[in-house]
């Protein structure tokens, strides 16, 4: 299994916002652009189709030594031999997820406040998601938490964390200036006709914001 990487951009799939391309095709472009972690997040397909895509993506990521995570569906993560899974606050509890996935696979947990982060850290999460920082079309049920929680996580979090929610070329610098080291990006990448160019731009903006 590949551990959670020290990286700048955390790529997430979304077939609803991929310009008609399949998740597999989008992931292929992400990998060619140098992605070091891919999260498969799918709300629109049936389980059989999701497993088929995840098996293809697992083969692509394994070729490049890239960490591959599956959102929510622990059964698909296991069947596809993914490196781990990402779960939310309303999904299967972290302790149960660990029991199913074991200690060799990565488990990430979405958090929206520091109390949830503390619980995930204590419970043995390998990394946490911090957000949504800005309004986002992909997580409409959760209101944005703004910069305050990001700054708190940057000051206190002893494990890797991923800043998520409305991250794009207009917001990524502000997030980095407030402590984000790794940013999850969805539609800004999946909706781009030039994924390599968009990832290059995002990395440039992150590097400039760190100076």
50-95 pLDDT, tens per residue? 999 999 999 999 999 999 999 999 999 999 999 999 999 999 999 9
pLDDT at 8 > cutoff 70: yes
Catalytic residues: 41, 110, 139
- pLDDT tens readout for residues 97-109: 999 999 999 999 9
pLDDT at 48 > cutoff 70: yes
CATH superfamily of 9-206: Aldolase class I (3.20.20.70)
Give mean pLDDT, residues 183-195.
Answer: 98
Q: How far apart are CA 93 and CA 129, in angstroms?
A: 15
Give mean pLDDT, residues 193-199.
Answer: 98
Q: Omega before 7 cis (within 30°)? A: no
Q: What is the pLDDT of residue 165?
A: 97
Q: What is the pLDDT of residue 110?
A: 98
Q: What is the pLDDT of residue 211?
A: 83
Domain ranges of the chain: 9-206
Q: What is the pLDDT of residue 133?
A: 97
The H or E element containing residue 150 is helix 147-156
Q: What is the pLDDT of residue 138?
A: 66
Residue 159 phi, psi (nearest 5):
-120, 165
Place 44 in a pLDDT band, splitting at 50, 70 and 90.
Answer: confident
Q: What is the pLDDT of residue 41?
A: 98
Place 43 in a pLDDT band, splitting at 50, 70 and 90.
Answer: confident
Q: How far apart are CA 91 and CA 76, in angstroms?
A: 15
Q: Of the candidates 2, 4, 1, 3, which has an alpha carbon nearest to the alpha carbon of residue 129?
A: 4
| E-assigned strand segments in the chain | 9-12, 37-40, 67-71, 84-87, 106-111, 127-130, 161-163, 182-185
Q: How far apart are CA 136 and CA 186, in angstroms?
A: 10
Counts for the chain of helices (H) and strands (E), in that order: 9, 8
Q: What is the pLDDT of residue 139?
A: 59
Query: Which tokens belong to 19?
Result: 């310009």
- pLDDT tens readout for residues 113-168: 999 999 999 999 999 999 999 988 765 568 899 999 999 999 999 999 999 999 99
C-alpha 177: how far from its chain's center?
A: 20
Contacts for 68 with CB less than 8 Å, ≥ 6 apart: 2, 37, 38, 40, 57, 58, 61, 62, 80, 82, 83
Helix, strand or coil, per DSSP, at residue 71: strand
Contacts for 20 with CB less than 8 Å, ≥ 6 apart: none
Give mean pLDDT, residues 29-52.
Answer: 96
């Amino acid at each position: 299994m590949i551990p959670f990487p020290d990286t700048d951009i955390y790529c997430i799939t979304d077939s609803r916002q991929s310009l008609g391309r399949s998740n597999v095709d989008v992931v292929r472009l992400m990998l060619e652009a140098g992605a070091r972690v891919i999260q498969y997040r799918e709300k629109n397909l049936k389980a059989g189709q999701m497993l088929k895509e995840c098996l293809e993506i697992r083969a692509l990521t394994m070729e490049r030594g890239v960490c591959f995570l599956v959102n929510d569906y622990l059964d698909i993560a296991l069947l596809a031999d993914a490196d781990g899974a990402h779960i939310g606050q309303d999904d299967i509890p972290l302790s149960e997820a660990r029991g199913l996935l074991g200690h060799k696979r990565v488990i990430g947990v979405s958090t929206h406040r520091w109390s949830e982060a503390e619980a995930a850290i204590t419970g043995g999460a390998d990394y946490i998601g911090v957000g949504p920082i800005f309004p986002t079309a992909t997580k409409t049920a959760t209101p944005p938490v703004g910069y305050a929680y990001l700054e708190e996580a940057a000051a206190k979090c002893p494990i890797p964390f991923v800043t998520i929610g409305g991250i794009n070329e207009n917001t990524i610098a502000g997030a980095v200036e407030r402590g984000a080291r790794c940013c999850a990006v969805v539609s800004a990448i999946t909706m781009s006709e030039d994924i390599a160019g968009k990832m290059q731009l995002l990395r440039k903006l992150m590097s400039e914001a760190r100076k």
